[in-house]
Chain A
Amino acid sequence: MKILVAVKRVVDYNVKVRVKADKTGVELANIKMSMNPFDEIAVEEAVRLKEAGKATEIVAVSMGPQAAQETLRTALAMGADRAVLVQTDVDLQPLAVAKLFKAVVDKEQPQLVILGKQAIDDDSSQTGQMLAALLGWSQATFASKVVIENDSCTVTREVDGGLETITLKMPSIVTTDLRLNEPRYASLPNIMKAKKKPLDTMTPDALGVDVAPRLITLKVEEPPKRQGGVKVQDVPALIDKLRNEAKVIP
């Protein structure tokens, strides 16, 4: 079984972004970029499925600028066998990414595609579900456990009230939630080896996909700042404030 795994280059988890003065977006110059954390979980899951003998090949796929090659190299160092970059400087929205991804799936014919449940930059949480729709495949979002047997995939999902388990007819789309696994760090030898693994580059044009944005960003602003309040000395002082000043407890 071949697995495709999606990786996105995003602003690092620990960076607090700043809105540009002209309100056209957020400041991305000279900022640390990393693999989207949920995509690390996706790569890890694919590698574990290969280690368990369930998968034979893992292809890491990214859409975006040339620099996304670095993110793909990280996926290769974690254990992906080869990588595909659909290279474009257009600001890709989830529907466009899903269409590009479908074109890659049509070429690669995997049985399973694993994606992160959301990217921590645009927080959209759409691409996996959209890809499943375009392919007419089954989907399991927010996965905390994935079990592959023969032609079916049983997934435990994180839902609002707890957990839900469903069985999918494969081929399938799975999106990862945070308890699915703990991603490994790439070892130095594996980082070196990853440099020699194949990385193919293609363009949206070559795949015949229109990636023009459907949503126009009119402006990007800072949210209203919340002011810190006061420190209280002890529990009686806290209760007094909550009862008599904030009036949030009886």
Chain B
Amino acid sequence: MTNLVIADHDNAGIKAATLAAITAAQKIGGDIHVLVAGHNCAGAAAAAAKIGGVTKVRVADAATYAHALAEPLAALIVGMAGDYSHILSAATTSGKNVLPRVAALLDVAQLSDISEVVSADTFVRPIYAGNALATVQSKDAKKVITVRTSTFDKAPADGGSAATEPVAAATDPGLSTFVSAALSKSERPELTSAKIVVSGGRGMGSGENFKIIEALADKLGAAVGASRAAVDAGFVPNDYQVGQTGKIVAPELYVAVGISGAIQHLAGMKDSKVIVAINKDGEAPIFSVADYGLVGDLFQVVPELTKSL
């Protein structure tokens, strides 16, 4: 058995999410190869070679792969698939974009967002917003898998010394072109890998009021998240969204501010180690999962908390 893990990277380094996918591959067993497909991506390839447990890094360095467009990337992976029993990626927007395309081209089912490896062909995955856990077995010869990064430990970023080998670029189908990216610039840690997350909900009332969430987050060295209601209301961008249809997080500490606790939100954060809820409605469902609940006006409580820390 040999696993191919598709790296999420920015050409200079490897994203933390990929480290979790590598751990899932280790649980499957066999060699672990990492594909770094990018442009001027020597930095990312070198970082991949250092990851503990990786046996080989395959590097496709071409302008075609500069922006991880689904069509050329899928063509590349399909061309390499003959060497592999398992093809994995973190369940990031990039992995979710490209791997189903790979699976269909290989005529195999995809296992989405696995939270546990039972054996080389059997996996656990959450369904219905995490309200049920399905154990599924794949009958296909090859397994194409996206990995829920919050439920696997991260493989060590250092300690490995894998060989690096170039891969020739595949023919670009030329179906799409990159125009631009507007990435949120933030000094704060990334939401899915942060140790502490402070999230705001509909109770924040406005985007302007998120300043008090940000102040608390900065005091704690935390990432800022939000409920779908807060995104729907236009308070914050969608990449803040924690929940079934947004990001899945499991930090050491999750502080839910003005969030009622709809099942779709709980789906994204209920595996956090410690949950704090601050809400003026003592009956809000968020309190049923919170380790520590504080019933009160968030506009008084949050600034007081920030000041006292």
Contact = CB atoms under 8 A, between A and B. Distances in A.
Interface of A: 11, 13, 16-17, 19, 26, 38, 93-95, 98, 117-118, 120-134, 136-142, 144, 154, 157-169, 177-179, 213-223, 226, 228-236, 238-239, 241-242, 246, 248-249
Contacts of A242: 253, 274, 276, 292
Greatest chain A CB density within 10 A among B67, B136, B174, B231 is at B136
B177 A167 contact: yes
A130 B104 CA distance: 5
A102 to B, nearest CB: 9
B80 interface: no
A139 B176 CA distance: 8
Contact of B305 (A98, A167, A238): A238
A178 B100 contact: no
A161 B270 CA distance: 22
Given A126-B110, A248-B273, 20 more contacts: A13-B264, A94-B109, A98-B104, A130-B103, A139-B176, A159-B239, A160-B94, A162-B239, A163-B239, A164-B67, A166-B67, A166-B177, A179-B232, A179-B238, A216-B137, A220-B135, A232-B294, A242-B292, A246-B273, A246-B291
30 contacts: A11-B128, A17-B131, A120-B129, A123-B113, A126-B110, A129-B96, A159-B93, A159-B181, A160-B94, A161-B183, A162-B182, A162-B184, A163-B183, A168-B175, A169-B174, A179-B231, A216-B136, A216-B137, A218-B135, A220-B127, A221-B132, A226-B289, A235-B294, A235-B308, A236-B308, A242-B253, A246-B274, A246-B292, A248-B274, A249-B220
Closest 7 CB pairs of A and B: A130-B104, A129-B100, A138-B175, A229-B291, A133-B104, A214-B109, A126-B100
A249 B282 CA distance: 25
A186 B291 CA distance: 42
B293 interface: yes
Given A178-B232, A215-B111, A235-B294, A163 B134 contact: no
A26 B137 contact: no
A123 B126 contact: yes
A236 B296 CA distance: 13
A178 B238 contact: yes
Interface in B260-275: 263-264, 270, 273-275
B159 interface: no
Contact of B100 (A125, A168, A239): A125
B44 to A, nearest CB: 15
Contacts of B253: 242, 246, 248-249
Interface residues of B, number: 90
B105 A144 contact: no
A43 B104 CA distance: 25
Contacts of B180: 164-165
A160 B287 contact: no
Interface of B: 67, 69-71, 74, 92-94, 96-105, 107-113, 122, 126-140, 173-184, 192, 196, 220, 228, 231-232, 237-239, 244-245, 247, 252-253, 263-264, 270, 273-276, 282, 287-296, 301, 304-305, 308-309
